[in-house]
A = this chain, B = another copy of it.
Amino acid sequence: MAKGTRTRSRILIAAVETACTNGFNGLNLQPLADRVGLTKSGLYAHFRSKEALQLAALEHAAGLFQLSVVAPAKTAPAGLPRLRGVFERWLEWPVGAGLPGHCPLFAAAVEFDVEEGPVRERLMRLFRDFREVLEQLVASSVRHGHLAPGTVPRQLVHELVALRYAHHWGLDFMREAATAERTRAAFTALIGRGHSIG
């Protein structure tokens, strides 16, 4: 890798780590420059604005999410085992990807619910894409006879998003270790509700 590419990569890793604890709005150029040992103008050579940095950090986080959550699921058998694999990795992904603090994407959804602009637009597209992945996994589970024919993917996925949020709240905010058990019990009940599992 050329030195410029390595530096850019170091900046992005530090930016995603910062977003995990301080949010994307906490990505200020000077503290980040200090953290990676650059001058502010050195950082500025890579990212010309806070927004450009936020967008690049979001892209980097999305790449880590894809690598940690979506890609590995392909090794599991199609249908419910694959859906379960994605859900399990989704629960653990910040730790699995070596990140500190909470899921930066969920936190960003709170930061950018009112604030308009390209960061919000990109984030919404990421969530839509991941929801599409989940919906396809639900539909595939139905086709494999692992979920009842009447299952509505959009509805079930809304409830999976719900469980992931409560997991975040229970584990990261309330700091209760029993959260993991509650989330998994809820997942099992949700998947089993009125469904025949093949």
Contacts and interface: CB of A to CB of B under 8 A. Distances in A.
Interface of A: 21-23, 101-102, 106-107, 109-114, 124, 127-128, 154-155, 158-159, 161-163, 165-166, 168-170, 172-174, 179, 182-183, 185-186, 189, 193
B174 A114 contact: no
A193 B189 contact: yes
Contacts of A107: 110
Contact of A159 (B161, B179, B186): B186
Given A102-B114, A113-B102, A193-B189, A165 B155 contact: no
A59 B110 CA distance: 21
| Residue from A107, A128, A165, A174 whose CB has the most chain B CB atoms within 10 Å | A165
| Residue from A23, A107, A162, A182 whose CB has the most chain B CB atoms within 10 Å | A162
